[in-house]
Amino acid sequence: MRVNKRLKKLNIRDHKRRLLTAKYELRRKFYKSFCKDPDLPSDMWDKHRYKLSKFPRNSSFARVRNRCISTSHPCSVYEFFRISRIIFHGLAS
């Protein structure tokens, strides 16, 4: 099945976001845990919040979108296989 350039570009963008997310995951969790600590003084909280804001936006897991790896279809994607239901039903039959 042919995928047009726009959809291929979306898949590439999503892949780059996944790589950035994996790269910054531990550091992001570290700073977030400090920010959620209620016993921390406000100046320390501000310092960690500032460092967290300096990370790339695409390193946030909320910006990753599950897409089908063959058609770039964003909806109804089986997470285990990373393919859409349309492709899955075609392969199953």
| The residue to which tokens 């990370």 are assigned | 55
Q: How many CB atoms lie within 10 A of CB 79?
A: 7
User: How many Å apart are CA 81 and CA 55, to the nearest integer?
Assistant: 30
CATH class of this structure's domain 5-67: mainly alpha
What confidence score (pLDDT) does residue 54 get? 93
User: How many Å apart are CA 3 and CA 72, to the nearest integer?
Assistant: 8
β-bridge partners, 84? 77
Mean pLDDT of 19-43: 91
State if pTM tops 0.85: no
User: How many Å apart are CA 5 and CA 8, to the nearest integer?
Assistant: 5
Sketch the domain layout of the chain as residue ranges.
5-67
- Assess whether pLDDT exceeds 80 at residue 1: no
- Assess whether pLDDT exceeds 70 at residue 72: yes
